[in-house]
Chain A
C-alpha cells in the first residue's frame, strides 16, 4: 500500500487545482473548471416559451366584454341609442335604475356607450382592415421587388406620413364626404372609415416592407425558387405567412389609435354624424357639463371606455408580438 499515505497529504496536483479552484493558483487567471462549465450550461428548450401574462388575460377579457356588448347590442336589454328619458339628463349613475345615469340630453349613458362601442369598433376594425390590406400589399411588393417600385412606394408612404395625421384625416373626411368612390356612396361612416384607413396605411406598409426585406433574404425563399416557385407564389405562400404576425400585432395597436382618432374627429364635428352614438360624440356632448362641473360622469365614463379599450389593445398587441418574437428566435 504505497499509495495510501500519498493521496491525503500529497500536495494537490497543479492541474487539479487550476481545474477546480475558482481562480488559478496565482489568483490572476480565472480558470473555470469542468464543474463550472456544467453549471453554466443552460437548460434547453421549454423555458423560452413566454407565458400569456395576467395583463394580457385581463385585456382579453375586457375586449371580449366590449366586443360582445357591441355585437349583441340589439338583443341586450338596453334602450335604443336615441331613446330619451325625461328627468334623466345630467343625472349621475344609479338614477331611476339607469346604471351609469344619463347624458346631457337624457339618453341612458350605458346604452349610449354600448351603441357607441358598436360604431367606434366598426370604424376601428374596418379602417385598420383597409390599412392592413393596402399597406400589407404595398409593403410586400416594395420589400420583395425592391428597385424602382420600392422607391415609388416608399416615397408615397413618406408623403402620407409627412402630414399631421389628424389634419390629413380631417381634410380627407371633408373631401370624401358625399362623393361616390368605387361605387360606394360615402356616408358619414364610410367616409370616416376610408379616411382613417388611408391614415393607417403607411405604418402597416412600413412594417410589412421591413419584415419582407428580412424574410425575403432567407434561404427558404431561395429554396422555394429553386423548386420552381414563381414570384407571386414566393410572396404569398412563403413570405406572407411570416410577415402577417408582425403586422397583426401592430394592427392591434392601430385599432386603438383609430378609435382615438375617430373620437377626435367626432369632437371636431367631422365624425360619422353628430346624432350617432360614438365614444367621441359622447365626450363631445358631455364637454359642456364637464366644464360647468354639473355632470362630469358623462365624459369620464366615455373616456374610461376608450382608455381601457386602447390599453387592452396595446397590451394584447404587445403580448402577441412577444409570442411571435419567441417563435422567431427559437429558429
Chain B
C-alpha cells in the first residue's frame, strides 16, 4: 500500500524503457545528418542492453537522445520514448530534470574531462545528493564515503578531500560511477565507459558496473565499439550501423546464430589470443557511410562481402529470426544458404574486400576497387 502511495505513476509491470522509431537528425550546412534513423527497442528493469557499433554509427547520439541531453538548436528528434510508461520523447529540459540523476544517469566516456577539475571529489558526489535528496550535509558526506568504498576506492576518506587530478584514470571513472549511482537511478547509461582507460583497468570497471547494477537492480545501457566488452555482460545486444539497429538478439543467441555480415565483421575484427603471431588483423574495409547522403539500399552494402545487386537498391527491413527476440536487417544473412551462395558468388568473381587486402592496396584504393566492382556488377550478376 505504501509503495502504491509513494509511486503512484510507476507501474512495476511493463518495460522500464520503451523506444519506438526514434530519429535524431542534425541540421548542418551540408544537409541533414541522420545520426539515429529509426531505432526501436525496449528494456526491462534490471537488464543490460549492449549497443555496439563503430565510431559514427550513432550509438552515443542514441543514448544522449534517450536521455534528452542533446542541444535544442539544429536538432530534430522524432519518435516515441517511454520511460516507465510515460512519454519523454518531447519532454522539456525542465521535465527531464525530474528524471536526471534520480531516475536515469550516465557514465561518460572520458573520466579525464567528466569531473570538474577545481572541485574536490567529495563535493562533486555530495552535490547531487544534497540537491536531490532532503538530507543533511553530514549525512551526505557519510553517503559519499560509503559510495566511494562501494565502487572500490581504497582510502575513501582521503580521496574525498582530493581533486580529480590527484586520481588515476581508473579511479576517476570509479568516482564517475559513484556520482552516477548516488541517487539510485533505475536506468544507467554507460557511454563507452572504458574506452579512455588502460586495458588492465577496463575489466575492473566493467565488473564494477555489473556488480553495482545487480546490487541496485538498475537497468543498464552499455554503449561500446567492442563486442568483447558486452559479450559476457549484456543480456541483449543491439548492433548499430549508420544510425540503425542492424541486428538485435539476446547475447548468447547473437554469438551462436549471428546473421548480419556487419556483426560477423565486428566479431572477426577482435584479435584472437591463440592466433599465431603476425597474423594479419581482420579489418572492415572502407569507412562508415556519409550520414548526409547514405547509400541507397542496405547501408552496409558498400563494405559487405556478401553484397548482391538487391542490397544496393532495396533496404532490408528488420526481419525476425527463428529464435524469439532475434532480428536482423539483411537479404543474404550469414549462416544461411542464401548468404553462403552470395559469398561464393562474390568470391568466384573476385569481388571480395579480402582479395584487395592481400594485394596490400592502400585503403582508398581498396574502396575504389570495390566501387569499380560495383559499377561492373550489373553485367555479371
Q: Which residue of B lies closest to A328 (CB)?
A: B117
Answer whether A241 and B116 are a contact pair too, CB < 8 Å, given A223-B108, A229-B128.
yes
> Quick check: is B213 within 8 A (CB to CB) of the other chain?
no
Complex CA distance for A238 and B164, rounded to whole angstroms: 14
A227 touches B179 (CB 8 A): yes
Give which listed residue, B113, B128, B131, B132, contacts A220 with CB less than 8 A.
B113
Contacting pair A220 B114 (CB below 8 A): yes
B69 neighbours in A (Cβ, 8 Å)? 222, 225-226
On whether A327 and B117 interact (CB within 8 A), knowing A223-B179, A228-B128, the answer reads: yes
- Asked if B311 is an interface residue, CB under 8 A from chain A, the answer is no
A242 to B128, Cβ gap below 8 A? no
Contact with B along A317-329 (1 / 0, CB 8 A): 0000000000110
Q: Once the chains are docked, how many angstroms separate the CA of A82 from the CA of B157?
A: 60
Interface residues of B in 91-139 (CB under 8 A from A): 97-98, 100-102, 105-106, 108-110, 112-119, 127-128, 131-132
Check A228 against B132 for contact (C-beta < 8 Å): yes
Chain B residues closer than 8 Å to A331, beta-carbon distance? 112-113, 117, 164-165
Contacts of A228 in B (CB 8 A): 97-98, 100-102, 128, 131-132
A220, A226, A238 pick with most chain B CB within 10 angstroms: A226
Residues of chain B with a CB closer than 8 A to A6's CB = none
What residue in chain B is nearest A240 (Cβ atoms)? Answer: B118
Mask, B167-188, CB within 8 Å of A = 1, is: 0000000001001100100000
A237 to B67, CA, bound (A): 22
CB atoms of A226 and B116 under 8 A apart: no
Q: Is the CB of B100 within 8 A of A225?
A: yes
A330 close to chain B: CB less than 8 A = yes
Q: Is the CB of A223 within 8 A of B106?
A: yes
Residue of B nearest to A225 (CB): B69
Q: A219-B113, A242-B116, A331-B117 are in contact. Are A230 and B108 (CB under 8 A)?
A: no
Take A222-B69, A327-B165, A330-B165 as given contacts and tell me if A227 and B105 are in contact as well, using a CB distance cutoff of 8 Å.
yes
CB B98 to nearest CB in A, in angstroms, measures: 8
Residues of chain A contacted by B113 (CB below 8 angstroms) = 218-220, 331
Cβ–Cβ < 8 Å partners of B119 in chain A: 237-238, 241
The residue that A219 contacts in the complex, of B105, B110, B118, with Cβ under 8 A, is: B110
Once the chains are docked, how many angstroms separate the CA of A60 from the CA of B276?
65
A186 — which chain B residues lie within 8 A by C-beta? none
Residues of B within 8 A of A330 (CB): 165
A223, B106: Cα distance in complex, Å:
7
- Residues of chain B lying within 8 A (CB to CB) of residue A219: 108-110, 113-114
Interface range on chain A: under 10, 10 to 19, 20 to 34, or 35 or more?
Answer: 20 to 34
Write out, one digit per residue, whether chain A residues 202-238 have a CB within 8 A of any chain B CB (1) or not (0).
Answer: 0000000000000000111011111111100100011
Cα–Cα, bound, A228→B176 (Å): 15
- Closest B residue to A233 using CB positions: B131
Docked-complex contact B108 and A222, CB < 8 angstroms: yes
Chain B residue with minimal CB distance to A244? B118
- From 113 to 153 in chain A, residues with beta carbon under 8 angstroms from any chain B beta carbon are 147
Q: A226 contacts B165, CB within 8 Å? A: no
- For residue B127, which residues in chain A have a CB less than 8 angstroms away from its CB? 224, 227, 229, 237
* B114 contacts across to A, CB distance below 8 A: 218-220, 222-223
B92 to chain A, nearest CB (A): 13
| Mask: chain A, 143-179; 1 = CB below 8 Å from B; 0 = not | 0000100000000000000000000000000000000
Shortest Cβ distance from residue A144 to the other chain B in the assembled complex, whole angstroms: 12
A219-B69 Cα distance, complex, nearest whole Å: 12
Closest Cβ of chain B to A148, distance in Å, is: 11
Least distance between B302 CB and chain A CB atoms (Å): 33
Residues of A within 8 A of B100 (CB): 225-228
Question: Could you give, for residues 238-270 of chain A, a 1 whenever the CB lies within 8 Å of some chain B CB and a 0 otherwise?
Answer: 100110010000000000000000000000000
Within 8 A of A (CB), among B173-221: 176, 179-180, 183
Q: Which residues of B contact A237 (CB under 8 A)?
A: 119, 127
Give the chain B neighbours of A241 by CB distance below 8 A. Answer: 116, 118-119
A241 to B179, CA, bound (A): 20
The complex places the Cα of A164 from the Cα of B265 at a distance, in Å, of 65
For A220, the chain B residues whose CB sits under 8 A away are 113-117
Chain B residues near A328 (CB-CB < 8 A):
117
Of B110, B131, B165, which is within 8 A of A229 by CB?
B131
What is the bound-complex CA distance between A220 and B67, given in angstroms?
16
Closest to B182 in A: A227
Counting chain B CB atoms within 10 Å of each CB, the highest count among A218, A224, A229, A245 belongs to: A224
* Nearest-CB residue, chain A, relative to B71: A146
**B→A interface (CB under 8 Å):** 67, 69, 73, 97-98, 100-102, 105-106, 108-110, 112-119, 127-128, 131-132, 164-165, 176, 179-180, 183
5 A–B contacts, CB within 8 A, in A order: A219-B108, A220-B113, A225-B69, A229-B131, A328-B117
Which 3 residue pairs of A and B lie closest in terms of their CB atoms, listed nearest first? A228-B101, A219-B114, A228-B100
